Amino acid sequence: MASGNIERRTILKAAGASAAALGLAATTGCGGDSGTSADGTVTIRYSWWGAEERQKRISQSIRLFEKKFPKIKVKTDFQDYVAFWEKFQTQAAGGNPPDVFQNAVGFLRKYDKRGILLDLKSQIDAGNLSTRNFREGVLSVGQVDGKQLGVPVGSNTMALVIDKKVFQKAGVTPAPGWTWDDYFKALKTIHDRTKVPGDTGYFSIMYLYDLYLRQNGKAFFTKDGLGFDKADLTEWWQDGYNRVKAGIITDPKTVAQDRPKSSVTAKHGASEFTWDNFTVRYTAEGDSEYGLAPIPTTDGKNTGQYLASLMLSASARTKHPKEVAQFIDFMVHDPEVGKIMGYDRGILATTDQYAAFKPSDPVAQEIAQYEEDTAKAGVLGTITPHPSGADTVEAAFLRIAGDMSLGKYKVADAVKQFFDESEAAFQA
């Protein structure tokens, strides 16, 4: 993301990004029905979530597309993240989803299970959508059970955003391969020497916990459910709770009071785990110097990281699959679109666009360098499968962890509540 817009709580804590969900302002563009006019002009509906800055960039990109494909008109609709999915669910249930829409990995199996998503392989085979020139490992994010249900527009990976001045004052220097023990010792050192809590609440971030589990031979999800047990989560949340009580982690009441700002930029925390391309929002919000640090490890090497992505998916009910495929192809491959979009939806997914956009500001340059360094380190793996219901589970993890940290639940009760809600979500 290159706009510095404020993300909602779930996104700030790296949820819903499911990957990579990014935007927020509650605004709506024009809607309309898809169809074919008397002169053969086809109209398709395109919906996404995002803020005003993204809307401007996408509108500019659509103008280029309509110039190249004058017989295809694009009607647009956008909301904030929560409103988007509420509206999409209503449209899907009514049999009238948009022809093409922004999507994320946590929703693929859910809507594939309901017959909502078009398998784009038919259009790939027909030559209307190219899968060439995608950066390594990116395209597979949109694949489920042999189907291409989404085409990535950008990629990101988990990182640790730090307040460089606080870390320097405490004499702490993050380094590749540092362990969780190193990290937690660093948090205590930062607190002892600067009186600033070292982290804003790592234990509530589902995607970070997934990395920790992957480092230890497990994963947050399997194809059908959870890939860890109650004992695993009890340890993770109990340790987090203890660190909150010790002052090493920001008081969750303070985190709530700081919103919509991050507690890092409010100077109530020295670091925060999030997606790498969210880094721009810290510079926009705060007056310190912020940067990216490596993910802590269990064995000194394996970070458990993978590339996540925002993507474009199509409706299985669209009457214009060819035109939708041509639109997706243009939006992910055209170099001019890459220049317009920049890193708004992550590091550009195709080499065509990645090469076309040259970040000029230091933050975007650091984001690009972080992804390049992570790829070169050879630690990137395949994204964990997300079963149907993963979006509900993700929201529950964040909410219950937050309630637990406030003392509303004992840890054991919080763990039980999470597993109960997860089971219900998978069965829905």
Q: What whole-number distance in Å separates Cα of residue 271 and Cα of residue 255?
A: 13
Q: What whole-number distance in Å separates Cα of residue 138 and Cα of residue 159?
A: 17
322-357 pLDDT, tens digit per residue, is 999 999 999 999 999 999 999 889 899 999 999 999
Q: Which of 52, 76, 53, 79 is nearest to 63 (CA)?
A: 76
294-321 pLDDT, tens digit per residue, is 999 999 999 999 988 899 999 999 999 9
Q: Please count the other Cβ atoms lying within 10 Å of the Cβ belonging to residue 266.
A: 17
Q: What whole-number distance in Å separates Cα of residue 153 and Cα of residue 22?
A: 12
Q: Does some domain include residue 350?
A: yes
Three-class HEC string of 17-58: CCCCCCCCCCCCCCCCCCEECCCCCEEEEEEEECCHHHHHHH
Same domain, 254 and 388: yes
Q: Does some domain include residue 419?
A: yes
Q: Does some domain include residue 79?
A: yes
Q: Does some domain include residue 3?
A: no
Same domain, 253 and 402: yes
Give the structural domain span for 323.
9-156+307-376
Q: What whole-number distance in Å separates Cα of residue 1 and Cα of residue 343?
A: 5
The per-residue pLDDT string of the chain (428 residues; one tens digit each, 9 = 90 and over) reads: 333 333 334 333 433 333 334 333 333 333 446 666 677 899 999 999 987 888 999 999 999 999 999 999 999 999 988 899 999 999 999 999 999 999 999 899 999 999 999 999 999 999 999 999 999 889 999 999 999 999 999 999 999 999 999 999 999 999 999 999 999 999 999 999 999 999 999 999 999 999 999 999 999 999 899 999 999 999 999 999 999 999 999 999 999 999 888 999 999 999 999 999 888 789 888 999 999 999 999 999 999 999 888 999 999 999 999 999 999 999 999 999 999 999 889 899 999 999 999 988 888 899 889 988 998 888 899 888 899 999 999 999 999 999 999 999 999 999 999 999 999 999 98
Same domain, 223 and 361: no
Q: Residue 34 has what pLDDT?
A: 61
Number of domains the chain contains: 2
Q: What whole-number distance in Å separates Cα of residue 85 and Cα of residue 417?
A: 24
- pTM here is 0.84
Over its C-alpha atoms, the chain yields an Rg (Å, rounded) of: 21
Q: Does some domain include residue 251?
A: yes
Mean pLDDT (the chain) is: 89
Last residue of a domain, one of 339, 354, 376: 376
| CB burial of residue 340 (10 Å; 0-12, 13-18, 19+) | buried
The CA-CA-CA angle for residues 247, 283, 259, to 5°, reads 50
Three-class HEC string of 148-204: ECCEEEEEECEEEEEEHHHHHHHCCCCCCCCEHHHHHHHHHHHHHHHCCCCECCHHH
Same domain, 55 and 169: no
Q: Residue 24 has what pLDDT?
A: 34
Q: Does some domain include residue 96?
A: yes
Q: Which of 143, 60, 61, 63 is nearest to 109 (CA)?
A: 143
- What kind and span of H or E run contains 238? helix 230-245
Same domain, 13 and 130: yes
Q: Which two tokens stand for residue 427?
A: 């069965």
Positive or negative, the CA dihedral 23, 24, 25, 27 is positive
Same domain, 75 and 213: no
Last residue of a domain, one of 339, 356, 376: 376
Q: Does some domain include residue 352?
A: yes
Burial 342-357 (b: 16+ CB within 10 A, else e): bbbbbbbbbebbbebb
Same domain, 367 and 389: no
> What CATH number does the domain containing 44 carry?
3.40.190.10
274-288 pLDDT, tens digit per residue, is 999 888 789 888 999
Same domain, 372 and 403: no
Same domain, 195 and 266: yes
Same domain, 42 and 152: yes
Question: Given the DSSP bridges, would you call strands 147-148 and 290-293 parallel, antiparallel or unpaired?
Answer: unpaired
97, HSE (Cβ side, Cα atoms, 13 Å): 25
Q: Residue 33 has what pLDDT?
A: 62
Q: Which of 232, 219, 211, 371 is nearest to 296 (CA)?
A: 211
